[in-house]
Structure 1
Amino acid sequence: MTIPVQQISTEKIACSNCQACCCKLEVIILSDTGVPEKHISRDQWGGEVMTRLDDGWCSALDRDSFMCTIYDNRPWICREFEMGSYECVTERQAHQ
């Protein structure tokens, strides 16, 4: 069952119920924020991206807590992807 975006309340999205759906997206590293090398891969054009493991999740995601293990050094785009934003709600909907 898919819930239309307009029916998902952004007020209900919080750290305590985050599904880390954004951690399945391709993340291009645009600036140096200190991402450890072990979490950086190269895409087919030679650009730096966050490594995703065989399960499709970002390599920096703790699979038990769904928290970022490099939060203070996360890529710029991760800093800009706001919890409860339209993009967040859309990704949550796509994974439900």
Structure 2
Amino acid sequence: MTSPDRPDAANCSSCEAVCCRLMVVLQPEDAIPDHLTTYTPEGLRVMKRGEDGWCVALNSVRMNCGIYETRPNVCRRFVMNGPYCRAIREDYSRSGAAAHALHESNT
């Protein structure tokens, strides 16, 4: 079992904010200001992402959510260091390692 004391445990104050790079599909009950949202080609209302790929609500200096008190319901269900959090971080680490290996093989 992963504990917050282990170095591989997620901690929002020192994480790479991988969850803030996921597509957040908004529900009708989410009261998110329009300037923070956009629509997919399929018509789903989602949180906007900046050019860096992070959610526009993320304060990248403080590494926290700028709308935490009113964040979307799906974000509220994303539990720090929970199973989904750990799985997303593992996939992200694996894809980063794969991209690094591909870059090295092309140079």
Superposition TM-score tier, normalisation by shorter sequence: 0.7 to 0.9
> Post-superposition, which runs of at least 4 consecutive aligned residues in structure 1 deviate over 6 A?
none
TM-score normalised over the length of structure 1: 0.81
- Residue 96 of structure 2 aligns with which residue? none
Structure 2: distance between partners of 1:29 and 1:71: 15
- Residue 35 of structure 1 aligns with which residue? 32
Partner deviation per Cα, 1:50-94 (whole Å, 9 max, x = no partner): 001111100100111110001111111000011111110122223
- Alignment RMSD, CA only? 1.7
Structure 2: distance between partners of 1:90 and 1:51: 23
- Residue 82 of structure 2 aligns with which residue? 85
Count of matched residue pairs: 89
Unaligned stretches of 5+ in structure 2?
Answer: 94-107
Are 1:66 and 2:67 matched, yes or no?
no
Structure 1: distance between partners of 2:79 and 2:41: 28
Evaluate the alpha carbon distance shift between residue 10 and residue 37 of structure 1 in structure 2; reply closer, same or farther with a 3 A threshold: farther
Structure 2: distance between partners of 1:24 and 1:43: 15
Indicate the structure (1 or 2) with the bigger Cα radius of gyration: 2
- Residue 13 of structure 1 aligns with which residue? 10
Unaligned stretches of 5+ in structure 1?
Answer: 1-5
